[in-house]
Amino acid sequence: MFVLVGMAELTAAGIYMQYWLPDVPTWIWAAAFFIIINAVNLVNVRLYGETEFWFALIKVLAIIGMIGFGLWLLFSGHGGEHASIDNLWRYNGFFATGWHGLLLSLAVIMFSFGGLELIGITAAEARDPQKSIPKAVNQVVYRILLFYIGSLVVLLALYPWVEVKSNSSPFVMIFHNLDSNVVALALNFVILVASLSVYNSGVYSNSRMLFGLSVQGNAPKFLTRVSHRGVPVNSLMLSGAITSLVVLINYLLPQKAFSLLMALVVATLLLNWIMICLAHLRFRAAMRRKGRETQFKALLYPAGNYLCIAFLALILVLMCTMDDMRLSAILLPVWIVFLFIAFNVLRRKAH
């Protein structure tokens, strides 16, 4: 999944660069950023950590600054004639396109929140998972309220949503239309950094996952090779080789590349989250059979799990009705069958 996420983020980075250099095709930028980020990860883990630290710091400070500046524009009278709290309920208000529009947006929302499941993976390495994991989950809620809901409220109040176009970042476009060109340029840079940050994390995660699978005997042994700096070189190069297909995709389908890759990411997210729900059901059932209880209390278990699966299935059905996402929804069951066959073939060879 993170290979597809990396492809989507490299494509997005190319789109953001076109704000400054519109004549340069996205595949060139995708190739350039692909080479730079992978080179950083090949050096050592410390350089990756330092790069990601600065990426994250820039993102957080920029979003807080954007919200603060937006509030100042809104309440100081410097936001122009369009800036008004009334924009939040004007133009047909909430659910302006009805429940149908809300339902169709769920797949895109899935893409935006993909990766939250990684909190659970950290439990194995956390010092005190009984305290740190619930705390991390609660912090996700607070950050969504601030960084997602907070920024959206400010942006919608500054500029009518009906004027926002889908071919560029709404953050950048709104401040550009408000004649805040310097802010728009800065935000475009920050959004570019955010995309590169996601890809940087994806490169690290992909290589470590492949390395871990190889150590466990679930992937070819050559992937366990580590450089003298502690970098799993072969795993990094294999994931990089697959990710490099993004250059070809952007070259052949420059206008459709991002929507195609986003749809594929959503499809894999659906599969991942459904498998997490099923694994959770089996885990607790096994614990109960052994007479053991976990310290984590699952809200609405087991009904909550089945509700989540039904919700995810609904999104899959909705994807089948959308032209940009229908192909990925059709390919998902094909991919599941392929994985099932490949797993059984490899397991038989192992025994």
323-349 residue pLDDT tens: 888 888 888 888 888 878 877 776 776
Confidence of residue 25 (pLDDT cuts 50, 70, 90): very high
Which pTM value belongs to this model? Answer: 0.80
Residue-averaged pLDDT of the chain? 81
Confidence of residue 167 (pLDDT cuts 50, 70, 90): low
10 Å Cβ neighbour count for 253?
Answer: 15
What tens digit of pLDDT does each residue of 295-309 get?
777 778 888 899 999
Q: Which pLDDT value is given to residue 109?
A: 82
Give a three-class secondary structure readout of 198-260: HHHHHHHHHHHHHHHHHHCCCCCHHHHCCCCCCCCHHHHHHHHHHHCHHHHHHHHCCCCHHHH
Confidence of residue 30 (pLDDT cuts 50, 70, 90): very high
Q: Please state the rounded mean pLDDT for residues 282-293.
A: 84
Cα separations (Å) of 227 from 3, 158, 206? Answer: 22, 51, 17
d(C-alpha 232, C-alpha 226), whole Å: 4
d(C-alpha 64, C-alpha 340), whole Å: 45
Nearest to 137 by CA among 3, 314, 299: 299
- pLDDT of 315 strictly over 80: yes
Is 318:106 a contact under the CB 8 Å cutoff? yes
- pLDDT of 33 strictly over 90: yes
Write the burial class of residue 173 (CB in 10 Å: 0-12 exposed, 13-18 middle, 19+ buried). buried
- pLDDT of 31 strictly over 90: yes
